[in-house]
Every structure is written in structure tokens, then in C-alpha cells.
Amino acid sequence: MFRGNRGAWGAEGGVMAAVIAVLRELHRLRKHMKGLQDEIARAPNLVKAKQAALVRQEQAVAEVHDELHRLKLAVREKEGSLKQQQQQVKKFEQQRNEITSNKEYVAIQHEIADAKKKCGDLEDQILEAMLAVDEKAASVPGLDQALATAKEELTAYEAAARERLDGKTASARKALGEIRRRLKL
């Protein structure tokens, strides 16, 4: 009689084993769904962080372009000042030719020397500014390329994240459907 009861329990044990397997699978799926929910919750923050990094990079590129523009304007201003100073030298030289006293001659010579010194200083400043313009201009293509790459990476990341989440969601739904099918048996 004891043996017969064990046989009866054996049939129920198979059902119980199936129920336990289904419960384990349900537990695994619930953990998987929780992981998906967490990933879905994190995704907007990750995208926002990547977008913020892209905005910072765009601002850096814009700042470099602005700095380059300011440097070019500074070069033009210094060139204008140099031209004015050169005209001043010519004016002093014409005045020197019309001077009759030695004292005035010496004074105008000092004026000419000072004006020529200012011209030399302006020329040095212009050269330095032109070098700065060239250095900034050389960095612009690399920054523009890095910005374009960052935009492409963000777009690719968004698409990959969407695809990954869609794939995981589909697999979870499929597994959930399988569990439902098992439970109906």
C-alpha cells in the first residue's frame, strides 16, 4: 500500500516538477523584465548625457570659430593701424623736408624714429596674430570632423539602444507567451 501511494505521488511529482520549472522560468523572466525596465529607465539619461556631451563639443567648436574670427579681426585692425602709422611717417618725412631750423629738424627726426618703431612693433604684433590665426585655423578641420563623428556616434548609439531594447522586449514577450502556453496545458 505504501508503494502504491508513492506511485500516486510520483505522478503528482511530475506535475509539481513541471510547475516548479514554470515558476523558475517565470522568476527568470520577471528578473529579465526588471532588467529591461531598469535599462529603459536608464536609456533616456544615457542619451541625455551623450547629447549634453555633444552640445559641449558643439560649443567648443563654436568658441574656436569665434576665436578665429576675433583673431582675424584683430589682424585687420592692426593692419589698419600700421597703415595709419606708415602714413604718419610719410607725413613727418614731408614736414622734415620743409623744416628750416635745426631744433625742429631734430624733433621731427625723433617723431619719425618713434613712428617707425611703432610700425615695427605693429608688424611684429601682426605676424604673431597671423601665426595665431594659422594655428587656430589648422585645428578647425579636426574639431569639425570630431563633431561630425560625435553626431554619428550619438545617432548610432540611439539606434543600437532602440534595437537592443526592442530585441530584448521581443524575446521576453516570446518567453512569456511560452510560459502562458505551458500553463494552459
pTM: 0.62
* DSSP per-residue string spanning 30-88: HHHHHHHHHHHHHHHHHHHHHHHHHHHHHHHHHHHHHHHHHHHHHHHHHHHHHHHHHHH
Q: What is the pLDDT along the chain (185 residues), one digit of tens a residue?
A: 334 444 444 556 777 887 788 788 778 878 877 887 787 778 788 888 888 888 988 998 899 999 999 999 999 999 999 999 999 999 999 998 888 889 999 999 999 999 999 999 999 999 999 999 999 899 889 888 988 998 898 899 888 888 888 887 887 788 778 777 777 75
How many CA atoms, within 13 angstroms, populate the side-chain half-sphere of residue 180? 6
What is the pLDDT, as a whole number, of residue 11? 59
What is the pLDDT, as a whole number, of residue 7? 46
What is the pLDDT, as a whole number, of residue 4? 43
Q: Which run of H or of E encompasses 98?
A: helix 2-98
What is the pLDDT, as a whole number, of residue 10? 55
Residue 125 and residue 118: Cα distance in Å, rounded? 10
Q: Which run of H or of E encompasses 111?
A: helix 102-184
Residue 13 and residue 137: Cα distance in Å, rounded? 79
> CB under 8 Å to 33, separation ≥6 — which residues?
172
What is the pLDDT, as a whole number, of residue 185? 54
What is the pLDDT, as a whole number, of residue 38? 83
Q: Candidates 3.20.20.70, 2.40.30.260, 3.30.70.380, 1.10.287.1490; correct CATH number of 2-184?
A: 1.10.287.1490
What is the pLDDT, as a whole number, of residue 32? 78
